[in-house]
Amino acid sequence: MTQYGARHVAIIMDGNGRWAASRGQPRPYGHRAGVEALRKIVRAAPDLGIEYLSVYAFSTENWKRPEAEVETLMDLLVEYLRGEVDELDREQVKIIFLGDDRAMPERCKREMDIAAARTGRNQGLVLAIAVNYGGRDEIVRAVRRALADPKKAAELDEETFGDFLDTAGMPDPDLIIRPSGELRLSNFLLWQSAYAELFVTPVYWPDFDEQELERALQHFQQRDRRFGGHG
Ligand code: FPP
């Protein structure tokens, strides 16, 4: 195993549409290729010392896309979970979900519940799939949960607030990777990214592979993380 010191890596899987367009293909073709890239990266992650891998699959804003594209993405989530859960379970991967699942279609919720239950006791890589996820929405939901428990709400601090987030129990991301060149977080892990290092590559997500992941980790290793201190 190659250790780069990044326990938690988060990826904004961007660029499926542009990747498809560059091949004269429709967007679903790009999303399908995006799932293949995800398969590869999940398999590569443990050997690179990654313990938590968070991937942004569908944001709270993605509902604004045409209905047919939303349906494709939901179908791909179901397909991915059905197709992968056995092998991921064998590999000790624990699948969890970030985001508000109440708005997800029943067929997705069913597969999400099955995947989470099947892999819930696994001790290997934690794969956190963000669906119907928005960082602001997560913070608002966390505040609501905290307020429902007045005693805890009164004692709230930066650490205990984390217990109300979807990522409760997970370390903050060390590294956030954004393929396809955009220089923004797009509402991903807003609270948790306070001290995350960012790595942006022009490579579109469907072309993102193990070598590119390793390149991101090598860059990460060279960063001087001071967490607000110095020296
Ligand atoms: C952004 O590319 C990508 C998404 C909105 C969806 C990401 C989804 C996948 C990789 C596949 C589905 C995931 C699972 C877990 C089944 P874009 O469409 O915004 O690309 P563009 O910016 O080039 O148009």
Residue 204 alpha carbon to ligand 1 centre in Å: 10
Nearest residue by C-alpha to atom 16 in ligand 1: 77
Mutual angle of helices 67-90 and 106-119, in 10-degree steps: 20
Nearest residue by C-alpha to atom 5 in ligand 1: 58
14 noted as active-site residue: yes
Whole-structure pTM value: 0.97
| Pocket mutation for ligand 1, best pick of 16, 36, 64, 77 (most atoms within 8 Å of C-beta) | 16
CA-to-CA distance for 208 and 113, rounded, in angstroms? Answer: 28
User: Of 105, 112, 56, 106, nearest to 80 (Cα)?
Assistant: 112
62 noted as active-site residue: yes
Residue 151 alpha carbon to ligand 1 centre in Å: 41
Would residue 212 be called left, alpha or beta, if left means φ above 0 and alpha means ψ between -120 and 50 degrees?
alpha
Tens digit of pLDDT for each residue in 28-52? 999 999 999 999 999 999 999 999 9
Mean residue pLDDT across the chain: 97
224 pLDDT band, cuts 50/70/90, is confident
User: Is the pLDDT assigned to residue 132 strictly greater than 70?
Assistant: yes
User: Is the pLDDT assigned to residue 5 strictly greater than 70?
Assistant: yes
When computed from its CA atoms, the radius of gyration of the chain, rounded to whole angstroms, is 18
Tens digit of pLDDT for each residue in 165-183? 999 999 999 999 999 999 9
pLDDT at 230: 80
pLDDT at 69: 97
32 Cα nearest atom in ligand 1: 11
20 Cα nearest atom in ligand 1: 23
User: Of 126, 135, 223, 139, nearest to 174 (Cα)?
Assistant: 223
The H or E element spanning position 170 is none
73 Cα nearest atom in ligand 1: 12
Tens digit of pLDDT for each residue in 58-78? 999 999 999 999 999 999 999
Tens digit of pLDDT for each residue in 79-124? 999 999 999 999 999 999 999 999 999 999 999 999 999 999 999 9
User: Of 105, 80, 102, nearest to 93 (Cα)?
Assistant: 80
Residue 59 alpha carbon to ligand 1 centre in Å: 10
Query: Domains of the chain (ranges plus CATH)?
Result: 8-221 (3.40.1180.10)
User: Is the pLDDT assigned to residue 2 strictly greater than 80?
Assistant: no
